[in-house]
Amino acid sequence: MQRILIDTDPGVDDAFAILLALRSPELHVEAITTVCGNTPVVQATQNLLTILGVLDLDQFPVIAQGEAQPLVKPLVTAAHVHGEDGLGNTSQLRTANGSLLYPPANTEVSSMAGVDLILEMAARYPDELVIVTLGPLTNIAKAIRKDAPKMRRLRKIVVMGGVFEEYGNVTTTAEFNIFVDPHAADEVFQFGVPVHIAPLDATHQVILTGERLHAEVDKRDSPISRFLKDSTQACMEFYRQHVGFWGLHIHDALPIGMLTYPDYFKSVDAYVQVETEGTLTNGMTVADLRRERQPFNPNAQVCVKVTAEAFLDDFFERLQ
């Protein structure tokens, strides 16, 4: 069993990842911290409670709210993709009697700051804790700045972020999580703890079509599957209009998959840097992934190949 802390900015695809992690026996989710990104951090925390409310858990992970602003840049959010509330506008859905269709989980948010919870968990599980980041890396960089010795005892950091040989999803050269806080990402990548990256190059290989999602919902008709259908409608409409297919990429589920189904993922060593100053390339992740030019001093493993259909099959089996 792997002990993990999830750092997230929920986010529709974050919901897929969080639900998968909590339904994976290989993982024990010790804590979840929120960060600004897809939404402002207060909304991200509310969205996390909504996601957790879908699950019938006897005990919830410790939850703490993290940073409200990137290290240097003004915050950029993604309501145009994820809906006004960042979770497919599920906060507007009501039952016949007017109550919330998806009420928040019956658990409390810690009074501890997200950065402090990260450091507490790193100290509690030295050389064992894996941090999985599904949003900008602001919390992780702040934790490193506050107590680098504790953070050096992490087992590894698994990141959904970056793009190397494809186009970005914010600008031509940048992926959203890195673009929002490139300074934080570069600090984390250069820190020296093992980093495993699931970039757009990998996540774009996993296409969840609307037809597949609706078929799975109809087959299972579970609270989780119904929530996934309802929360993805706005996102899939964005994809239909701007990407060219009715469905979505479940980006953030891949770092969880890398921990639970490692045989489905192929990675290469790389030395990854982040552009923090470029006018046209701000947030660009830069690395040479060619095998014949592998670096002598890699700072990351970058996922380049996914067995997509097997991953999706197992994903839905766990989220019944």
Nearest Cα residue to 249 out of 236, 258, 260: 236
**Alpha carbon separation from 114 to 70, 71, 167, 265, 296 (Å, rounded):** 14, 15, 32, 30, 35
For residue 245, give every residue at least 6 positions away whose Cβ sits within 8 Å of its Cβ, in sequence order, or none.
Answer: 207, 209, 239
> What gap in Å lies between CA 268 and CA 293, rounded to an integer?
11
Pairing of strands 273-274, 285-286: antiparallel
Nearest Cα residue to 3 out of 85, 62, 47: 62
**In angstroms, what is the C-alpha Rg of the chain?**
18
| Residues identified as active-site | 251
**Alpha carbon separation from 189 to 62, 158, 202, 218, 317 (Å, rounded):** 26, 11, 18, 42, 34
**Alpha carbon separation from 219 to 99, 116, 205, 226, 236 (Å, rounded):** 26, 42, 24, 11, 20
H runs (alpha helix) in the chain: 12-22, 41-53, 79-82, 114-124, 138-146, 148-151, 176-180, 182-189, 200-203, 210-220, 223-242, 253-260, 308-318
Instruction: Name the helix (H) or strand (E) containing 5.
Output: strand 2-8
> What gap in Å lies between CA 233 and CA 246, rounded to an integer?
10
